[in-house]
Structure 1
Amino acid sequence: MEIKVCKACGFILDTRPNMKSENGICLSCLNKDRKNSIDWKERQKWLTAYIEKTRNRNVEWDCVVGVSGGKDSCAIVKRLFECHGVKKALLVHFCDEFTPSLAGLHNLDNLAKKYNLDLINFRCAPQTFVEETKKSFFEELHPLKWIESQLYSKPLEIAAAFNIPLVFMGENPAFEYGESEECEIFHPASNEKTKVIFMGSIWPYSNIDSLEQAEKMGFKQLSDFDDWQRQGSIDDFTQIDSKGYMIQHWTKFIKFGFQRVSDMACRFVREGKLTKEQALQLIKDSDYICDPLAKKDFCRTIGITVQEFDETVDKFANKDILVKDANGKWRRKDLL
C-alpha cells in the first residue's frame, strides 16, 4: 500500500475512517480556510439571543455542559457566562475507571468552583465499564467505544430529565476531523425537546484558543504536576484527565497509522504553530510510542495481562502500513 500524506499538514491520508481529501490535501486543512467565510460574530450574536429565547424559567439551570475538566470544557463555560448571558449551568461529567491525573482532578474541581456551579459526576457501574471496555478492546481494538458514546448521551439524557433545553459540547468533530465541509451548529442528537450545540461552531475552534481561555480560569497542564511524564504525545494540555484513557488514542496507530502525535502536530500546522516539516519529524519520532503508564493503568483497570494486551495489538496491526522495528515496536513503514 502506498502511504500518502497531506501536502499541507503531513497527516496520513486514506486510513482515517470517513476523512476526506481533495488533490492530496485533507479536508481538515481545507476546512481551516472555510472558517474564513463564516461570520463568527453573527453566530455569537445568534447564540446569545437563542439562549435567552429557549431559557426554561421553570428550572434552575439555563443549560447543561458536558465536561471533562479539560481546556475545551473550561473555554465553553467561560464564554457562556462571560459572553452569552448564561446565569446558571449544570455540569455533567462522565467518569471513567482509570487513574485520574493530578491535573485532571484539579481542573474539574476548579471548573466547578470558578463559577460556583452544580456538577454531576456520573459514574456508571464499574463492572459494566470493565466489561464493555474489555469487549471492545478484544473484539475491535476500540477500547473506549462504549464510554465515548456515553460521553455524548448522558448529558443529553440528564438535560431531558430536568427539562433543560440546551446542551453544550466542544468542537464539531465532523468538521474539524475532515469528514464534512459543513460547520453545523447543532449536534445530530438534537431533538425537539433538547438542542445540543457545538461551541466550536460558534467560536472558531483551535487548541491554542481553548488553552488560552482555560488558563485564564486557572487550568493546569500535566507539567504543573509530577505524577505523569507522558510519552507518545507532544503536548501537556490535551486529553490529560486520566491515564489509561490514552490507550484509546494509541490503538488508532495500530489500525490506521496515526495517534495523538499526528492529530496534534497537524493541528498545530493548521494553527500556525508548526511547519509541516516539523510536524513530520515529531510524527516520526513519537507517534508510535505507547505511554507505559497509560498501558499499565489500562491493563490493571480492566484486569488483563500485558501479554494479553500485546497479543491483541499484534492481531489487529495493519501490516499494509506498519512493520515491527528491531525493538519489537510497530512503526510506519514509510517513516523507518
Structure 2
Amino acid sequence: MQLIQTCKRCLYPASHPLGLTLDEEGICSGCRIHEEKDSLDWDGRWKKLEDLVRPYRSIGGQTYDCIVPVTGGNDSYFIVHLVKEKLGLNPLLVTYNKYFNTSLGIWNLANLRIRFNCDILVQNVNPNSVKKITRTTLREFGSIYWPCLAGQTVFPVQTAVRYGVPLIIWGAHQGLEQVGMFSHEHEVEMTRRYRKDHDLMGKEADDLLSIFDTLTEDDVWQYRYPSDHDLDRVGVRGIYLGNYVRWDPKAQHEEMMRQHEYRTASFARTFDCYDHVDCFNFMDVHDRLKSYKHGFSKVTDHATREIRHGRLTRDDALALVRRYEHAPLQHTDKFCDWLGVNIRALNFMLDQHRNPRFWKQTDPGVWAFSPIEQGEAPYGDERVFSGGGFIANSQLADADQNKYITVGKGWP
C-alpha cells in the first residue's frame, strides 16, 4: 500500500475527502488558514457582522429576523447564544429529526429552546422513507448519514422560503475549518453546490431515483432544494458565524456548559465529549464507515483541531488517534433493529466500502489496516491523555435504552 503524505503540523492526509494541499514546507492548507485566527481583527469582523445583519431586523418584532439550524449537540448552543444574546436577533430555530436520537440529545434540544426562549420547528420525514433511503445510500455509496445531512442542510432553506425569512445563520464552515478551502476574509456563504458536492457526496435527492431501486418520488421530495426562482424571490442567503468570530469549539462548548447547562458525554471512539452527543450513530457506525472509506476517523478531526489550537502536541495527538480510532462499535444492535437487517448483513455492506488504499483483505472476513500516518506513537500506546481536558457531565444513554428515541419533546 502506498504511503500517503501527511501534514507535518497536524494529522490530515493529502487524501482528505474535502480536498487539501500541502505547501513547500509540508504544512497543509487547513493549518495555514487556521493561522488567520491569530492575526485577524476579530473586533472589526464582529462589527462587520453587526452591519451585515442590521437590515434583516424585523420592524416592530412582527416576524422572525433569521433562521437558525440547530440540533441537540455540536455548536447549536453557542450559535443561538451569539444570535440571540449578542446580536439581539429574534431567530426561528429549525431542526431535522435524524431518528438516531439519544435521550441526552433530546434533553439538550429542549433545554436549548427553553433557555433561549425561542420558537422551534421540527421536520419529521416519514420514517419508512428515511429507512429506504438509508438502505440505498449505504449500499450505493457507503453512507448511513445521507438523509441526515440532506435534511439538516435543506430544511432551513425550505423554511426560509416558506416563511419569507431570507437570512439563515450557520456556525462554522466545515471546508474552511478542516482543510482551508477558503479564507475567513472570503466570507463565503451557503451554496447549493457546496451542499451537493461535499455534504451529499455529489448526490441530490433526484439522483437517488433509479429503475434498479425501490425509492420513489414520495420518498425523496422533502429533500429537494428550493428552486432558484424561489430563492431569488425571497432573497435567501446563508452566512457562517465562523467568518466573523474566532471559532474554538472546545472553549465555546465549555462556556455553554457553564452558562446554559449544555450536557456532554464520553465516546468510545474519541476523547472529545462535546460533539454529536445527540446521535448514537455519528460516532459509531457512521464513524467506522468514514475510516473504511478515507483511512481516518473522527478522532483525527478532533486531534487535528486540538493541535491547531495549541492544546495538544502532534505526538500526543497521534497517540490519542491510535488509542481510539479502531475502538469497537457499541450501538450496532440499535441500528440493525431500526434498519431491519442482521449484523452479518450490515458488516457485509460496510466491507464493500473499504478503500483498498488503506485496507487489505488477508483472509475471508479478515482485513489489515495500513495507517495513513507513520508517526512515532505506535499502535497500542497506553499513555492516557486528557485530550486537553474534555469533560463529560452526563451519560450518552440510559442503561435500558435499547432503541432510538425517534420522536421526543424532552424535558429541561
One-letter identity of the residue aligned with 2:324 = S
| Inter-CA distance 325–310: structure 2 relative to 1 (3 Å threshold) | same
- Is 1:231 equivalent to 2:233 in the alignment? no
- SS at 1:234's partner residue? coil
* Equivalence for 2:86: 83
Q: Distance in 1 between matches of 2:154 and 2:320?
A: 35
Alpha-carbon distance, 1:111 to partner: 0.5
Q: Distance in 2 between matches of 1:249 and 1:199?
A: 26
The TM-score with structure 1 as length reference comes to 0.90
Is contact 1:250-1:290 (8 Å) kept? no
- SS at 2:274's partner residue? coil
- SS at 2:75's partner residue? helix
One-letter identity of the residue aligned with 1:84 = L
1:315 counterpart (335, 352, 373): 352
Alpha-carbon distance, 1:77 to partner: 0.7
| Inter-CA distance 303–80: structure 2 relative to 1 (3 Å threshold) | same
| Inter-CA distance 112–268: structure 2 relative to 1 (3 Å threshold) | same
Q: Distance in 2 between matches of 1:76 and 1:173?
A: 15
Poorly superposed stretches of 4+, deviation over 6 Å: 324-327
* Equivalence for 2:203: none
Q: Distance in 1 between matches of 2:306 and 2:362?
A: 28
Give the greater-gyration-radius structure (CA): 2
Q: Distance in 1 between matches of 2:349 and 2:165?
A: 43
Q: Distance in 2 between matches of 1:297 and 1:119?
A: 28
The 5 A counterparts of 1:138-153 are 138-153=139-154
Q: Distance in 1 between matches of 2:80 and 2:44?
A: 20
1:304 counterpart (331, 341, 348): 341
| Inter-CA distance 325–213: structure 2 relative to 1 (3 Å threshold) | farther
The 5 A counterparts of 1:263-282 are 263-282=301-320
* Equivalence for 1:186: 189
**What do the CA deviations read for 1:214-253 (whole angstroms, capped 9, x no partner)?**
2121101115xxxxxx311212111110202332232110
Q: Gaps (5+ residues) in structure 1?
A: 224-229
* Equivalence for 1:195: 237
Is contact 1:231-1:289 (8 Å) kept? yes
**What do the CA deviations read for 1:245-296 (whole angstroms, capped 9, x no partner)?**
3322321100111111111011111111211001111111211234222x22
The 5 A counterparts of 1:102-117 are 102-117=103-118
- SS at 2:52's partner residue? helix
* Equivalence for 1:218: 261
- Is 1:205 equivalent to 2:251 in the alignment? no
Alpha-carbon distance, 1:4 to partner: 2.6
Q: Distance in 2 between matches of 1:325 and 1:262?
A: 26
Is contact 2:34-2:180 (8 Å) kept? no
Q: Distance in 2 between matches of 1:147 and 1:301?
A: 15
- SS at 1:121's partner residue? strand
| Inter-CA distance 185–83: structure 2 relative to 1 (3 Å threshold) | farther
- SS at 1:97's partner residue? coil
Alpha-carbon distance, 1:15 to partner: 4.1
Q: Distance in 2 between matches of 1:8 and 1:160?
A: 43
Q: Distance in 2 between matches of 1:117 and 1:32?
A: 33
Q: Gaps (5+ residues) in structure 2?
A: 193-227, 380-412
Q: Distance in 2 between matches of 1:288 and 1:329?
A: 12
**What do the CA deviations read for 1:138-181 (whole angstroms, capped 9, x no partner)?**
11112212320221111111012111121111111121121513
Is contact 2:102-2:280 (8 Å) kept? yes
Alpha-carbon distance, 1:35 to partner: 2.6
One-letter identity of the residue aligned with 1:90 = L
* Equivalence for 1:134: 135
One-letter identity of the residue aligned with 2:255 = Q
- SS at 1:252's partner residue? helix
One-letter identity of the residue aligned with 2:293 = K
2:97 counterpart (89, 95, 101): 95
One-letter identity of the residue aligned with 1:214 = M
One-letter identity of the residue aligned with 2:326 = Y
Q: Distance in 2 between matches of 1:324 and 1:284?
A: 21
* Equivalence for 2:46: 44
| Inter-CA distance 324–263: structure 2 relative to 1 (3 Å threshold) | farther
- SS at 2:138's partner residue? helix
1:68 counterpart (66, 71, 83): 71
Q: Distance in 2 between matches of 1:269 and 1:251?
A: 24
* Equivalence for 1:226: none
Alpha-carbon distance, 1:16 to partner: 2.8
The answer to which of 116-125 and 207-216 deviates more is 207-216
